Chain A
Amino acid sequence: ETGVTQTPRHLVMGMTNKKSLKCEQHLGHNAMYWYKQSAKKPLELMFVYNFKEQTENNSVPSRFSPECPNSSHLFLHLHTLQPEDSALYLCASSQLTDTGELFFGEGSRLTVL
């Protein structure tokens, strides 16, 4: 495995379901991110983790719950979502430097019915 991998690639869930998105980075980076990409809107930063500690929560509703057990793994736990939460959820990683570029995974396409 190389780069940043996300699973599942596609997920359909009802509003009462609980599911999780998984991300793993193989780049030796020490920061990981969740971004949301909705149609015709800019990428929105959701959460940032440095060395598995959360450093940013961009006013994300509590129905999204992140977990970062170590610097290589990141989860996004989903529960009681709304149809407007349907989007592409992108995981990214970077080195902790002022110029650290982000490297994205392929994304998890979420549809909430």
Chain B
Amino acid sequence: QKEVEQNSGPLSVPEGAIASLNCTYSDRGSQSFFWYRQYSGKSPELIMSIYSNGDKEDGRFTAQLNKASQYVSLLIRDSQPSDSATYLCAVRPLLQGAQKLVFGQGTRLTINP
């Protein structure tokens, strides 16, 4: 079982709709969860972090965490073509030390005008 799993996509969403990106993780003791956005040819950029169960909203982005289900998601409301990118889920596994950040393979998102 992969430590962090994401559907690689591609995920196509019409402009203005809600894009929903999902991620599951294997280490039940994980405490910190991050979503990064990576445009083609660029480096990953942190867009959301979440540490406790529930929802965290920042502008058009909402991160959702369910530790019991070992599941974290990212919702993008009012999707724009500029949101087209690969979205990386990252988890800090408790058992591997505070600094190791494990990444999923990423989900490629395309917003269609």
Contacts and interface: CB of A to CB of B under 8 A. Distances in A.
B37 to A, nearest CB: 11
Interface in A59-76: none
Interface stretch (A13-21, A78-86, A93-101): A93-101
B43 A45 contact: no
A42 B104 contact: yes
Given A40-B105, A42-B103, A45-B101, A98 B31 contact: yes
Contacts, number: 57
Nearest to A103: B46
A66 to B, nearest CB: 15
B106 A42 contact: yes
Chain B interface helix/strand/loop/mixed? loop
Nearest to B89: A42
> In the complex, which of the residues B42, B49, B92, B99 has the most CB atoms of chain A within 10 Å of its own CB atom?
B99
Task: Give the contact-size bracket for chain B.
Answer: 20 to 34
Interface string B17-49: 000000000000001101000000011111001
Contact of A105 (B43, B97, B102): B43
- With most chain A CB atoms within 10 A of its CB, the pick from B44, B90, B100 is B44
A106 B46 CA distance: 13
A56 B105 CA distance: 22
B99 A42 contact: no
Contact of A45 (B34, B49, B100): B100
B111 to A, nearest CB: 22
B4 interface: yes
A101 B34 contact: yes
A42 B102 CA distance: 9
Closest 9 CB pairs between A and B?
A: A43-B103, A104-B43, A42-B103, A42-B105, A98-B98, A107-B43, A106-B43, A104-B44, A101-B46
